[in-house]
Amino acid sequence: MMTLLEDLPNELLFDVFEYISARDLYYSFWALNRRINYIVRSLKNLSLIIYKNEPLLIQTFADKIFRLQVSNHYDIIDIDHFPNLRSLSLYNASDKQLQQIRYDCMPNLMYLFIPIPNITESSAKLARNIFSNQLPSLRYADLGIIDVNYISLSSWSPSLRVLCINCTKSIVIRMVLLVCPNLKRFQVNLVKNNSKIATQLPTKTLNHNLKTFILLVSCRSLPLEKINDILLDIPNVTRIYLRWCCDTLFVALARMLSERLKYLSQFGCNIIEFPNDIEYNNIKSIREVHSSFNNIQCTIIHHGYRLFTADGFHEQANLFG
């Protein structure tokens, strides 16, 4: 005997439909009959990926969407139609979309992923709103490029727990730590290092309770004294990942990490060390500095340059995990 979809009980349909995306629900089941429409409209916490403007789909499910991903390849989608969003991923964001990320439009937003490649007036305003707690439900954010002027020392953002940014000044790291006291995981991609800034920061070390720190340096290596300043502010870190070209001895960096991070348990790196002739800067000496350095590997790549790698954890692991 053949069983039709309409013969299934509501409870079973609810269970099945919860695993189907909003788009598939709309194009496969919407308008079959009133009962199916009622069940579909009763669903909550739906996910939707948008590549083009689909007004009927959006109108039908906007207030049911929990997780939204928008890729602006063809059309610019208004994102202020989704009042119950918890998670928003926004690619190729327009200024209008950045302006729509506000508390009155998305009061429950917890996850925000907007890899902004360039600084604009709209991105600056959004960042200032985030760092001044204008999105109080926000816990996890990947904000793309951040300028030092986005952050005021009078700001306060106690809600943020996980943050990923790109910046052009290493001083931004300390400014973020100052205004985000409850941050637990912090990833920074330093694409340039120009630390000339008029803002006077407090000289007292922060003793921040950050647990995981990831630093990716795409510009010239940071001096050891800069690294030391950063580490002094985050003594409670247990997991750290570093990636850059190092013009100082790797063993000196290892000893600094061991001295500053007393709770360190996981270490990962991808560091190129400039040539040197120091005999005690060998892999055995480095591994002896700290137990978390036991998995460090060293490879001579060319002209005396050495590549140090360690898989304590990977910098591309799920930021929000």
- Is residue 157 in some structural domain? no
**Structural domain includes residue 43:** yes
Please calculate the CA angle 309-310-314 and round it to the nearest 5 degrees.
110
Q: What is the pTM of this model?
A: 0.89
Is the confidence at residue 91, as pLDDT, over 80? yes
* pLDDT for the residue numbered 202: 62
39, pLDDT greater than 60: yes
> Which whole number is the average pLDDT over 56-67?
92
pLDDT of residue 88: 97
Residue 183: name the closest of 207, 224, 142, 211 by CA.
211
Of 17-26, 136-145, 160-169, 269-278, the poorest mean pLDDT is in 269-278
Tell me, yes or no, whether 49 lies in a domain.
Answer: yes
pLDDT of residue 200: 56
Q: What is the pLDDT of residue 197?
A: 47
Domain membership of residue 208 (yes or no) is no
**Percentage of the chain modeled with pLDDT above 90:** 52
Contact 78, 85 (CB under 8 A): no
Eight-class DSSP state of 122 = H
pLDDT, residue 84, reads 94
What the block records as the tokens of 171 is 């001083």
| Alpha carbon separation from 172 to 153, 175, 214, 219 (Å, rounded) | 11, 5, 14, 15
pLDDT recorded at residue 132: 94
pLDDT tens-digit series, residues 66-77: 999 998 766 678
Residue 280: inside a domain = no
- Number of structural domains in the chain: 1
109-158: pLDDT as tens digits: 999 999 888 888 999 999 999 999 999 999 999 999 988 888 888 889 99
Please state which of the ranges 151-165, 189-203, 260-274 shows the lowest mean pLDDT.
Answer: 189-203
**If you average pLDDT over every residue of the chain, what do you get?**
87
**Residue-level pLDDT at 142:** 96
Domain carrying residue 19: 9-114
Query: What is the residue type of 288?
Result: E
pLDDT at 36: 87
With a pLDDT cut of 70, the percent of the chain lying above it is: 89
Is the Cα dihedral 51, 53, 58, 64 positive or negative?
positive
Query: Phi first, then psi: what are they for 306, rounded to 5°?
Result: -120, 140
Is 88 part of any domain? Answer: yes
More confident: 263 or 43: 263
Least confident window among 58-72, 156-170, 272-286: 272-286
Nearest alpha carbon to residue 138 among 155, 166, 113, 115: 113
pLDDT at position 12 is 86
Tell me whether residue 47 is in a domain. yes
27 part of a folded domain: yes
- For CA atoms 176, 178, 180, 183, the dihedral sign is positive
Position 13 scores a pLDDT of 83
Provide the pLDDT for residue 1: 54
Q: Residue 203's pLDDT band (boundaries 50, 70, 90)?
A: low
Q: Is the pLDDT of residue 278 over 70?
A: no
Res. 187 pLDDT band, cuts 50 70 90: very high
pLDDT tier, 198 (very low <50, low <70, confident <90, very high otherwise)? very low
